Amino acid sequence: MLRYTGTRFLQGLIALFFIVTVVFFLARMSGDATALLAPPDATPEQLDAVRVELGLDRPILVQYWDYLQGLVTGDLGRSTSYRVPVSDLVVPGMQATAKLALVAFLFALVLGVAAGALAAFRSNTPTDYGVRLMAVLGQSIPSFWLGMILVAVFSVSLGWFPAFGDATATSIVLPAISLAAFALASIARLTRSTVLEMLSKDQTLFERSKGVAPATLVVHVLRNSSLPVVTLAGIQLGALFSGTIVIENLFAWPGVGQLAIQAINAKDFALIQGIVIVNTLVFIALLFIVDVLYGLLDPRVRRPAASRGKKKRPTTTVQPIDVMETV
């Protein structure tokens, strides 16, 4: 298990290093940032002063090395529009985004697994058809359109929940539902298919023939069907963290998504770079956790590929044949 975990951790570091490198050089290739930050009537001397202040007068490889050293110590650079360290802006925003994403994830995971399992155990019934219809709608309706419908119904018409901000505890309900709709539908569909597959296996049929209690049978089926669901849940959690831009701007939620839009409008490359790297780090960390859980749930995953594909030959003893007896 230690070797398996170390391999996955090393792969995550390599992926993070690759993303950091790509983001750094793409930001430098987009043009001279000093022309965007300086006043329109700035003189060449003023442009040079801004370039020196931002450290853009040094060779690109020196800038890259300094940026990597800063990342190791947690320094994401300095925002050119807010004039503060990027970490001072990204950390509070990531806390708000994490709150929204985790609430949406728990909502999607609990209801998705319950709905998918219920549809599988009641296959080809009105309950199954209803769950499948809701899953298709959840994957088809855009999240921003669903959010606007929820605001029109539950905020404007009924007045049950706030339409924007995070002033009250109920402010998270509508954005969490809008964000969780696609993940809930995906988890429900996968849970239904995996549970149906497990119900048709000989092991489950044998347990039914022995008269195992329904509650015990449900627990066994869900446990044996958990591996694909755990993988999808981890991917959906990472997608929820990185896909909150539209929902946060729709509901004025003070997270990283809203901060990213402000950074793009202000052409704040340092802040945009920091947001991308932090989102990438969170996504890679979540995938690493999913890989570790997968290895704990299924010991076969921890074995090397060579040993998994190698089959032991049966050690049978060949008896000599008496030719005279066969005549």
Claim to verify: residue 200 and residue 284 sit in the same structural domain: yes
Claim to verify: residue 20 and residue 93 sit in the same structural domain: no
Does residue 258 carry a pLDDT above 70? yes
Q: Per the domain annotation, does 151 fall within a domain?
A: yes
Distances (CA, A) of 310 to 140, 252, 302, 306, 313: 43, 56, 15, 6, 9
Q: Per the domain annotation, does 64 fall within a domain?
A: yes
Q: Per the domain annotation, does 160 fall within a domain?
A: yes
Q: What is the pLDDT of residues 203-226, one digit of tens each?
A: 666 666 666 666 666 666 777 777
* Beta-carbon contacts of residue 233 (< 8 Å; ≥ 6 apart): 105, 109, 187, 290
Q: Scanning the structure block, which residue is given the tokens 């929940």? A: 161
Claim to verify: residue 59 and residue 190 sit in the same structural domain: no
* pTM score, whole prediction: 0.72
Taking the C-alpha atoms of residue 161 and residue 175, their distance in angstroms, rounded to an integer, is: 10
Q: Which amino acid is at 36?
A: L
Distances (CA, A) of 30 to 35, 103, 164, 287: 12, 37, 34, 30
For 36-65, b where at least 16 C-beta lie within 10 A, e where not — what string? ebbeeeeeeeebeebbeebeeeeeeeebbe
Give me the domain span that covers residue 32: 2-72
CATH code for the domain of 270: 1.10.3720.10
State the pLDDT confidence band at 50, using cuts at 50, 70 and 90.
low
Nearest 10 degrees: CA dihedral of 87, 89, 92, 96?
A: -120
CB 93 within 8 A of CB 241: no
Q: What is the pLDDT of residues 58-90, one digit of tens each?
A: 777 887 887 888 788 877 777 777 778 888 888
Q: State the total domains in the chain.
A: 2
Claim to verify: residue 222 and residue 294 sit in the same structural domain: yes
**Residue 39: predicted pLDDT:** 60
